[in-house]
Amino acid sequence: MPEPKVPVNESPQTASPAKGSVRHPALILLVIGFSSLCASLMQSLVIPIQPELPSMLGTSASNAAWVVTATLLAGGVAMPVAGRLADLKGCKPVLIGSAALMLAGSLICALGDSLAPVLVGRVLQGLAMGYIPVAISFVREVMPPRLRNTAVAGISATLGVGGALGLPLAAWIAQAYDWHALFWMASALAVIMVVSTAVALPHRAPAGSGKLDVIGAIGMAIGVVAVLVGVSKGNDWGWASAATLGVIIGGVAALLLWAWFELRQDSPLVDLRTMARRPILLTNLAALMAGFGMMAQAIVIPQLLQAPDATGYGLGQTMLQTGLWMAPGGLMMLAFTPISSGMLTRFGGRATLATGMVVLSSGYLVAFFLSAAPWQLMLASCISSAGVGIAYAAMPTLIMENSPASEAGSGVGVNALMRSMGTTSAGAVMAIVLTAVTTTVGGESLPTVTAFKICFLLAAVAGLGAAATTLFIKRGRPGTDETDEDQAQAEAPAAGSAAEDSQARETSEEPALI
C-alpha cells in the first residue's frame, strides 16, 4: 500500500514535525547563542581599521571598501541558501559547515597581507552568517516549550548584538595589537564554534526532502548581489551613472527571471507561493524597514560622536570611546530577551513586532531632541536597541508560525535577507543625506547637525512604517506552540510513516560525542 502524501497546500500546522525535548537544553542554547554571536561579530570586525585599510593592504580606498561590503553581500546570499540546506539536510551539518567557513575565512585573513586574500577571507566570513537563521530554526525545533520563545528571542538578538559589541572589541584589539590579531581572535572563536557545535548539538532528521536548487541559488545570488552592490555603491559611483543604473536594473531583471524559474520548480530554493502568504509577506516587508531602522543608529550615531568639536555640535570622541558608548545598546538587546519572550508568549508575534518598532522609533525621536552629550546619544541608542531586540525576536516567530516545517529554515533565511537589504538601503540613504547637507570646517566638508536630524527622522519613520505594516498581519493566538493533542490529530493521516519518523528522531536526538 503506497504511503499517504502530504498535500501540496499543506498548512503550517499539518506540516509540523513531532517536537520533543532534548537533553541539556541549557548547554545547547549556550552553544548556539555563543556561536551566533561570533558569526555576527564579523559584520563590524574591520570597521575600526577601515580608514587604514588602503595603506595596510597596499590598495586604493575604493578597493579597500570592498573588505567591508563583501562580507555584507556574502551574508545576504548565504542566509536563505543555508536555511534551505538545513531544511533538506538537517540543521546540524549546516551549522558545522557555516562555522568551518568562518574558520577558513578568518585564517586566510590572518595570514594575508594584500587585498585579494583578505577579500576571499571576508567573503567566507560573510557566508558564515548563514549560521544565524539556521540556529533560530534549530532552537525552535529542539527547545522544550518553556524555553522556545526565549531561545528564539536570544538568537535573533545576536544579529544586532554582535555588530554593537564588535565595535569596541575590534577597536581595542586594533589599537593594542597588529591588525592581524583581529583575525587570529576570529579564528580562535571559530575553532570553539566548530568543536562545540559538533559535540554538543543533537542531530535531527530533516523536515524537507528533495535536492538543493543550485540554479535557483546561483540566480538569486546574482540578483541580490547586483542590487545590493548598486545600492551600496550608488553614492560613490553616482546614482545617475551607467554603472549604478546598470547594476541595479540588471539585478532586478535577474531576480524577476529567478522568480519565474522558481515558480516552475518542484523543489525550489524559496517557495514563493509560501512567501506570498499575507503574514509572511507583511513580516518580510516589516523586516526590510526594521533593518533600515536598526542600521541607521550604527551609521549616524558614531559619526555624530566622532565629529570634531569645532563643528559646534560634534562630540570629539575617538573610535574606542565611540564603541564604548555604543556597547550598552548591544547589551540592551540581550537584556530584553526575557521581556521579548514573555511578550511573545502573552501577546503573540504580531503585537510584539509592532511594539518593538514603536520603541525603536522612540529612540530616534530622543536622539532628534537630545544629542548634545555622549550620554544622551547612548540613551537614544539603548532605547532603539531595546526596540530592535523586541522586534527581531518576533519576526522569525511569525515566519515559522506561518510556514510549513519543511520550509522553516529557508523562510527564516529569506527574512534575514530582507533585514540585510534594509541595512544596506539605510547605508545608502544615510550617505546621501550626510553628503548632501554639509558645512566646511577647517577646509573639510562635514555633515551639518540638520543632516543628522534628518537621518534620525527617516529612521523613526521607517520604524513606524514597520509597525503599521505589522498591524495588517492577521491576529494569531498568543503562544506559538501546538499541544501534543493537536500534533497527534494533525499527524493522524500519516500515522504509519510518522511513527517511524518519530522513532528515528528519538534515536538521533542524543548529542554526538566526538
Q: Where are the domains of the chain?
A: 21-213+265-479+501-508, 214-264
pLDDT for the residue 198? 93
CA–CA dist 213, 463 (Å, integer) = 35
Top-level class of domain 21-213+265-479+501-508: mainly alpha
pLDDT for the residue 273? 84
Q: Is 109:152 a contact under the CB 8 Å cutoff?
A: no
pLDDT for the residue 208? 63
Q: Is 68:420 a contact under the CB 8 Å cutoff?
A: no
pLDDT for the residue 311? 80
pLDDT for the residue 475? 67
Residue 508 burial (10 A CB sphere; 0-12, 13-18, 19+):
middle
Q: Which residues of the chain have pLDDT under 50?
A: 1-20, 478-514
pLDDT for the residue 490? 39
Q: Is 141:19 a contact under the CB 8 Å cutoff?
A: yes
Residues 6+ apart with CB under 8 A from 340: 149, 153, 157, 352, 356, 389, 390, 393, 394
Q: Is 152:36 a contact under the CB 8 Å cutoff?
A: no
pLDDT for the residue 197? 93
CA–CA dist 212, 204 (Å, integer) = 18
Q: What confidence tens digit (pLDDT) does each residue in 197-236 have?
A: 999 888 877 766 678 888 988 998 899 889 888 888 887 7
Please identify which residue in the block is written with the cell numbers 586574500: 117
The strand pairing partners of 511, in sequence order, are 202
pLDDT for the residue 101? 95
The strand pairing partners of 446, in sequence order, are 439
pLDDT for the residue 207? 67
Please identify which residue in the block is written with the cell numbers 545617475: 240
pLDDT for the residue 508? 43
Q: Which of 45, 13, 11 is nearest to 481 (CA)?
A: 13
